[in-house]
């Protein structure tokens, strides 16, 4: 069965070496553009962004439709590494959330847990 043509959401840099990267939020937030353009200048590369969530991105990598992914799915990534269809992983960020308010704590956050 032939694979469907992937929709390229954006292209960053203009080098001769082309690679496809699948991700969601990092592309939407501008991080992918900054990384892609810097990498493209350094490595004579061009990045094609395929917009996809973590599950879809993992599937695109597994079926060799993209060269790289950025996902928020550590267990799935570890499984892909163990199964051998992914070769390396690098942690580039994590989420941390803070609740900030007045010292008097009118919402009673300190005792909510």
pLDDT higher at 68 or 2:
68
How far is the C-alpha of 76 from the C-alpha of 105, rounded, in Å?
39
- In this prediction, residue 1 carries a pLDDT of 42
**Exposure of 61 by Cβ count < 10 A (0-12 exposed, 13-18 middle, 19+ buried)?**
buried
Cα angle 83, 89, 93; round to 5:
135
pLDDT band at residue 95 using 50, 70 and 90 as cut-offs: confident
**pTM beyond 0.85:** no
Domains and CATH numbers, the chain: 10-111 (3.40.190.10)
Q: Are 76 and 54 in contact (CB under 8 A)?
A: yes
How far is the C-alpha of 3 from the C-alpha of 40, rounded, in Å?
27
Give the orientation angle of helix 54-62 with respect to helix 74-83, to 10 degrees.
Answer: 10
For the segment 40-86, what is each residue's pLDDT rounded down to a tens digit?
999 999 999 999 999 999 999 999 999 999 999 999 999 999 999 99
How far is the C-alpha of 22 from the C-alpha of 85, rounded, in Å?
15
For the segment 69-82, what is each residue's pLDDT rounded down to a tens digit?
999 999 999 999 99
């Amino acid at each position: 069965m032939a694979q469907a043509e992937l929709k390229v959401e954006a292209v960053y840099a203009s080098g001769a070496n082309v690679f496809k990267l699948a991700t969601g939020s990092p592309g939407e937030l501008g991080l992918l553009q900054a990384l892609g353009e810097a990498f493209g200048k350094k490595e004579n590369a061009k990045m094609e962004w395929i917009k996809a969530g973590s599950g879809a991105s993992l599937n695109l990598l597994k079926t060799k439709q993209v060269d790289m992914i950025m996902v928020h799915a550590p267990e799935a990534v570890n499984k892909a590494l163990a199964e051998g269809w992914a070769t390396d992983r690098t942690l580039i960020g994590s989420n941390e959330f803070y609740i900030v308010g007045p010292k008097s704590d009118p919402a009673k956050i300190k005792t909510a847990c």
